[in-house]
Structure 1
């Protein structure tokens, strides 16, 4: 694999979180709820995704999210059980990313830009610290932008413009790495350098390629 991106020409790198830094199975909670609920699975998943979007742009808080999930699925689950199912999409953080991200931060401006929510972030930070004990997540990036904090959601182009303008970045010298092709294409349309990261690609391999 070859990429037309040269590391030395980059001023900043924007990383997605799920699927780039932490392993994810985005469909897990939806499959679980569909398998354990009655009724039309397609409608159920559509309704759950709408609830999740509201949660991920900060329109509803944790407790309202949990109650809406319980009401929609009609499952007799406690708050903690719903949180556990929701966190079931999260995997592990590869331990080798600690030193890699630390090195990149010494050389470039680095950012996280993630569609996410408070329940997931609490769990991500815990798993990150378990895997990468030497560096807290917040110390490895200049700024971290979570959708629920800024009220914007990828692939809406406003979210990329928000980060670019906030940090006075030059899109042509900024790299965005994401595992969702729609997010990548949206950023690319703004002139941002992009890499669509999907298996078997991983972050160390990508950085090695563009650094050569």
Structure 2
């Protein structure tokens, strides 16, 4: 069996980078996100583009500065990203692997957050990590899971996907993947016991 775990909100807490960065820049979360998603300059939604790997972190901050007039002295996505490990979920992953299952991470992320997780050793829990910015596509686009299934050489019915966002679970399920909407490690353990 292949288990595909989301990272933020499942394996680690869902750190709200937009809030932290927005507050640090004196904008607040909503104003920061507005600058990121203001498409009037024809450059599109920066958050989606950085998640899909369409623009680099350096390009993100350059466009953000053009839109906001605020100079980012550093890569705040990396500097202010400090998620906490969900030890209950980590224990489940370790158990699944010890039982001989293949366990991978399927995450919407940008290179800054990916680098932070690598530095912390968070991805060492997994046999493989599939990161949206490297794949060129983000959840809930079904291409995300199709790439993983092809890469792993399995059919959808042989996979279980765990994510804290219902829209991502629904998209995975539309392909025939068994999807579990994550709420807590305890609830996940019960759901896995039903498989």
- Please give the TM-score of this superposition, normalised by the length of structure 1: 0.74
1:84-143 residue CA offsets vs partner (Å, 9 max, x unmatched): 35x3xx53112344443222112211111111011111222344x4xxxxxx623x3222
Per-residue Cα deviation, 1:154-178 (whole angstroms, up to 9, x for no partner): 1111111111122122322311111
Aligned to 2:38: 47
Aligned CA RMSD, in angstroms, stands at: 2.8
Q: What aligned pairs does 1:7-156 form with structure 2 within 5 A after superposition?
A: 11-26=1-16, 27-29=18-20, 32=23, 36=27, 43-47=34-38, 50-81=45-76, 83-85=78-80, 87=81, 90-107=82-99, 108-127=101-120, 129=121, 137-138=123-124, 140-156=125-141
List runs of 5+ in structure 1 lacking aligned partners: 1-10, 130-135
Q: Provide the C-alpha distance between the structure 2 equivalents of 1:78 and 1:42, rounded to a whole number of angstroms.
A: 18
The CA distance in 1 between the partners of 2:54 and 2:191, in whole Å, is: 40
Number of equivalences: 186
How far apart, in 1, do the equivalents of 2:187 and 2:88 lie?
12
